[in-house]
Structure 1
Amino acid sequence: MALQRMAVYTLQKVKLSESDHGENRKPQEDGLLRKTLFNLTMSQTGKKSSSDGETTPQAPLVNESIRGSKSRFPKAGSRKESIDSKTTDSQPQDKTLKTISLDATKTLTSETELGSRMEENEQFLQKLCRKAVSKCLDLNNCRQTTADVRDTDLEKLDISWNDVTRGNLHVLTQQMHLVSKLKILRLSSCRCTADDVWALGEAIKVLPELEELNLSWNSKVGGNLPLILQTLQQGSKIQTLELMDCTLTSEDGVFVGQLLPRLQNPEVLDVSINRNIGGSLNSIAHGLKSTSNLKVLKLHSCGLSQKSVKLLDAAFRYLRELRTLDLSCNKELGGGFEDIAGLATLEHLEGLDVRQCSMTADDVFHVTPDVLTAQVIPLLSSLQELDLSANKEMGSYSENLLSRLRFLPALKSLIISNCALESKTFTALAEASIHLPALKIVNLSWNKCIGGNLKLLLETLKLSMSLQVLRLSSCSLVTEDMALLASVIQTGHLARLQKLDLSYNDSICEAGWTIFCQNLWLLKELTELDISLRPSTFRKCGQWFRHLISAVTKLPKITEVATKRWLLPASQEEELQGFDQDHRSSIHFDHGGFQEADFPRLN
């Protein structure tokens, strides 16, 4: 009996507490699951074991009258799956549940094999979680209950991060012709084998409605991409293609370039962490010219070169709808941004990531040329996220670039971590940031020049009423900086702050930590705080630690507090232990357990 209709099921790794192991499931539900799993195990094993030309009757994959019941394919999805079907006949549920073929049991090679399979099913059942929403039966939240899902066709299938899928994907793909309305297929990190890749290629033939395909983190896809996708016809409906870290070859890159014009309306292309496709970027860039509706392009860590920038620049002129561009971690890009103009045509661009691209002084100049000529940054007025991190040459030459940030009024996330900023460039940044009222995330970590100069950001901290994340790790902050920060907190200008990172600022004295901790309790939205010392440093806690404990008890949303490598006297260690016992369920205090007695030379 064919599986006609199914609900969406999602299978992803989740961390389960002991209380999640089946407590919330009803006994009758587990019974249905066991029967369905046994049924599927029998049917698939039966097909493999039949001999002498005989055809073994197959038990139904899922009993068609069950609503809200769960199942999984044996070994194809090791964690959790769910199948829900709409029946084409009116047979009662109890009768349908008894349709497991007795003939199939005879095809098992041994009782040991059966026991092994059922043991895997039991492990799966222990990690099962449920959530039913409209057409979606989501098994990713163990604390939800099951609701009836009626009259639904399978549209989304996600079995990512399931190692048991390895070598068994054919068990699933053999049924794909029964779910021809599938729109989303995610098989990320399933450790696919060469046989799995072949099976997947066969399955995609019968999925004409497929709109999203994610094969990321499967190394065997590399060198075999044409085998998987060559059957896609002109006008294919795939809009999202994600192939992150698939060990793609240069030939695969050429194929991607040839594939793009076949797609009807591609919107997302992610081929990140495939270092060998940089040599085939000419083909990819040519294919991008046929994707005028592309919204997301991610080429993170793809071995791009200076020449690659020019090839992409020619394609940018055709990507007028692009919203996200990720060129990060391509260290050979440095010096390639000269004489580019296509970037300025991306007027709808919202996210630009060029971190760790070895940008040179010339690159910075050509991105923001003299005010009398065409400028790139001012034309990107829709930009909301900008990451320039780990481009250390910017520290001396980015004054012009950073001053142009004032032309980005929609900017919400500004990350300039580890750029070796100097006094004049930091001053330019501080003056420009006053004109960025929408800022929610500011990360200036690992820029030593900020120490003693945080006052330059005072007006920004006062005006950024929406600021939620502030990271100043390893900025050589001093006591005066902490006093300034405390005053801003006291006046209520950081009322929405959720994450604050002040770690690795070892030069702050006890007075600085004291005044900060005395005002910390005013950050009512704070969820994460990090004031850890750098790995090579150990220091004794002063009286400020008691102010910290007192403040944390008054913060209703705090969940993470990191104070690594601070040494506690025995009395404060006891106080911390008492705190942990009182707040173990809601707050993780990451201290490391160091006491003064562990380091007698510091006493």
Structure 2
Amino acid sequence: MSQTRKKTSSEGETKPQTSSVNKFLRGSKAESRKENNDLKTTDSQPSNWIQKTAPSETAKPLSSEMELRSSMEKYEQFLQKLGKKAVNKCLDLNNCGLTTADMKDMVALLPFLPDLEELDISWNDFVGGTLHSITQQMHLVSKLKILRLGSCRLTTDDVQALGEALEMIPELEELNLSWNSKVGGNLPLILQKFQKGSKIQMLKLVDCTLTSEDGTFLGQLLPMLQSLEVLDLSINRDIGGSLNSIAQGLKSTSNLKVLKLHSCGLSQKSVKILAQVIPLLSNLQELDLSANKKMGNSSENLLSRLRFLPALKSLVINNCALESETFTALAETSVHLSALEVFNLSWNKCVGGNLKLLLETLKLSMSLRVLRLSSCSLVTEDVVLLASVIQMGHLAKLRKLDLSYNDSICDAGWTMFCQNVRFLKELIELDISLRPSNFRDCGQWFRHLLCAVIKLPQITEIGMKRWILPASQEEELECFDQDKKRSIHFDHGGFQ
């Protein structure tokens, strides 16, 4: 477009418009230059978004050009007021404290953003009760692919208006309505326009007070969502009873990669139903079943069938009250999860004294990045076992290790662990904090920890809450902190 203008004899007449466009894009171009250091600072050329929006020199009168220029300036001023920068095809107003007046300004600008693909107004309380003003303009942003409305205090009228407007944005790929309680009981009103062939890939409905009826409707809808890759129904405690319908629907979602059912009130019956579906989700990469305590004595079949998920990268099963039999089943199947990167077993007391059941998994886990064993009632033998695995060169890719709230480990166990933690060359975060009710003096193992940290080039955070440092160790830490070449935060309980 700029090249064409250089060749025309009316170059002088078109410069003001180009200048206006460049001014409008200055925020996004500056951001782009920051991310790409190899780009040189030159006169910005209009993006495709603006090219389509900007009027033709021959087709539009001067008044239209002036109107466009004025709207662009207002858009830039609007973003600057909210501390945001212009980003091509994206309007991100997440957690901006939008007022009613701001909402009106934003709605007035939508007609000038026909190529908008992403709109995020999450965590703005004043959106609630005013969403209809946006949905009435949805036909003007029909290319929208991402719509995020999390924690907007949506009203019943809002969700009904949204349901009517969704058919105006057929390209929608992501919808996030999390933390809006009025979604519960009204899910059919919102999603009724989704038809077979829908392009939706990500559906997030966290803590929406979904009812059993909502769950039944969702189960019937899922077969129409053939492109669905991410489904997050976490913190909806009443949908456990409708999991039969949801499970039947999941059988048709062969492309599903992420399934999150954290704190969904899964019953023993629903867990058994889910076990029948799991083998069919062969593309699943993330599974979150955490905070479903009734899984503890009824999930052997479910956990044993995880071996049919060869692509699984993240398994979050913390706070599920696992019992010995279920933990044994999990340990046996985890050996087959060669792609596992995140393994969270925290708050399952049965792990304590039984970490040896995971020995083969820990040896074979070449991809493991995050291991969380917080509040697992680990004993000294467990930590010694972990230390020996680390010493043998396993867990070499580990970046985050959480051993907090395991207060029964003696100083000898921590010494053994700290002597070998130096082999975790990619470790970034380590947490060995004590429970809030417990304070202990650091033993001689702290000196081994400091020696190990020197050999860990990437570590930045060490959680040691409620471990108290004696005066001698305080001096050692102060000397360590004087090394300006490293920036490591020791979060400890204080000095004594």
TM-score normalised by structure 2 residue count: 0.79
**Which secondary structure state, in structure 1, belongs to the residue aligned with residue 224 of structure 2?**
coil
Q: Given the alignment, which residue of 158, 165, 172 partners 1:224?
A: 158
Code of the residue aligned with 2:438 in structure 1: it is: T
Please say if 1:181 is aligned against 2:115.
yes
Question: Which residue number corresponds to residue 79 of structure 1?
Answer: 83
Q: Which structure 2 residues correspond to residues 521-560 of structure 1 after superposition, within 5 A?
A: 521-560=422-461
Code of the residue aligned with 2:308 in structure 1: it is: F
Question: Which residue number corresponds to residue 145 of structure 2?
Answer: 211
Q: Extract unaligned runs of 5+ from structure 1.
A: 11-19, 21-28, 30-56, 65-69, 83-136, 138-153, 332-356, 369-374, 596-603
**1:254 & 1:391 partners in 2: Cα distance?**
26
Contact 1:477–1:507 (CA under 8 A) maintained in structure 2: yes
Per the TM alignment, residue 9 of structure 1 is displaced from its structure 2 partner at its CA by 6.8
Q: Which structure 2 residues correspond to residues 147-296 of structure 1 after superposition, within 5 A?
A: 154-193=88-127, 196-228=130-162, 230-233=164-167, 236-249=170-183, 252-261=186-195, 264-276=198-210, 278-296=212-230
Code of the residue aligned with 1:572 in structure 2: it is: Q
Contact 1:559–1:588 (CA under 8 A) maintained in structure 2: yes
Question: Which residue number corresponds to residue 6 of structure 2?
Answer: none
Please say if 1:330 is aligned against 2:330.
no
Contact 2:259–2:284 (CA under 8 A) maintained in structure 1: no
What are the Cα deviations for residues 374-427 of structure 1, in whole angstroms up to 9, with x where unaligned?
A: x54444333332333233343334334333333333322222322333333333
Q: Extract unaligned runs of 5+ from structure 2.
A: 1-15, 29-33, 35-42, 44-66
Distance 1:413 1:233, change over 3 A: closer
Per the TM alignment, residue 307 of structure 1 is displaced from its structure 2 partner at its CA by 4.6
Please say if 1:390 is aligned against 2:263.
no
What are the Cα deviations for residues 118-157 of structure 1, in whole angstroms up to 9, with x where unaligned?
A: xxxxxxxxxxxxxxxxxxx4xxxxxxxxxxxxxxxx5222
Code of the residue aligned with 1:191 in structure 2: it is: D
Question: Which residue number corresponds to residue 244 of structure 2?
Answer: 310
Distance 1:258 1:405, change over 3 A: closer
Q: Which structure 2 residues correspond to residues 85-104 of structure 1 after superposition, within 5 A?
A: none
**Which secondary structure state, in structure 1, belongs to the residue aligned with residue 238 of structure 2?**
coil
Q: Which structure 2 residues correspond to residues 429-508 of structure 1 after superposition, within 5 A?
A: 429-508=330-409
**Which secondary structure state, in structure 2, belongs to the residue aligned with residue 591 of structure 1?**
strand
Per the TM alignment, residue 459 of structure 1 is displaced from its structure 2 partner at its CA by 1.8
Distance 1:478 1:262, change over 3 A: closer
More helix by share: 2
**2:244 & 2:273 partners in 1: Cα distance?**
13
Quick one: percent identity of the two aligned structures?
A: 47
Distance 1:222 1:327, change over 3 A: farther
Question: Which residue number corresponds to residue 345 of structure 1?
Answer: none
Code of the residue aligned with 1:297 in structure 2: it is: L
Please say if 1:419 is aligned against 2:320.
yes
Question: Which residue number corresponds to residue 56 of structure 2?
Answer: none
Question: Which residue number corresponds to residue 120 of structure 1?
Answer: none
**1:565 & 1:158 partners in 2: Cα distance?**
40
**1:160 & 1:500 partners in 2: Cα distance?**
31
Contact 2:253–2:281 (CA under 8 A) maintained in structure 1: no
Question: Which residue number corresponds to residue 70 of structure 2?
Answer: 60
**1:251 & 1:410 partners in 2: Cα distance?**
35
Code of the residue aligned with 1:427 in structure 2: it is: T
What are the Cα deviations for residues 507-561 of structure 1, in whole angstroms up to 9, with x where unaligned?
A: 1111111111111111110000011111111111111111111111221000110
Distance 1:242 1:415, change over 3 A: closer
TM-score normalised by structure 1 residue count: 0.66
Contact 2:251–2:281 (CA under 8 A) maintained in structure 1: no
Contact 1:234–1:264 (CA under 8 A) maintained in structure 2: no
Question: Which residue number corresponds to residue 49 of structure 2?
Answer: none
The aligned length equals: 443
What are the Cα deviations for residues 567-600 of structure 1, in whole angstroms up to 9, with x where unaligned?
A: 21111112223333435962111113242xxxxx
**Which secondary structure state, in structure 1, belongs to the residue aligned with residue 154 of structure 2?**
helix
Per the TM alignment, residue 200 of structure 1 is displaced from its structure 2 partner at its CA by 1.4
**2:277 & 2:252 partners in 1: Cα distance?**
17
Per the TM alignment, residue 319 of structure 1 is displaced from its structure 2 partner at its CA by 3.5
**2:303 & 2:154 partners in 1: Cα distance?**
43
Contact 1:8–1:157 (CA under 8 A) maintained in structure 2: no
Contact 1:249–1:277 (CA under 8 A) maintained in structure 2: no
> Superposition RMSD on alpha carbons, in Å?
3.3
Code of the residue aligned with 1:73 in structure 2: it is: F
Per the TM alignment, residue 287 of structure 1 is displaced from its structure 2 partner at its CA by 4.2
Contact 1:462–1:494 (CA under 8 A) maintained in structure 2: yes
**Which secondary structure state, in structure 2, belongs to the residue aligned with residue 205 of structure 1?**
helix
What are the Cα deviations for residues 250-304 of structure 1, in whole angstroms up to 9, with x where unaligned?
A: 5642311322239852222223221155544454444444333333332223353
Q: Which structure 2 residues correspond to residues 90-169 of structure 1 after superposition, within 5 A?
A: 137=87, 154-169=88-103
Of structures 1 and 2, the larger Rg is shown by: 1
Code of the residue aligned with 2:250 in structure 1: it is: F
**2:176 & 2:436 partners in 1: Cα distance?**
37
What are the Cα deviations for residues 291-348 of structure 1, in whole angstroms up to 9, with x where unaligned?
A: 33333332223353455223324433543433333333222xxxxxxxxxxxxxxxxx
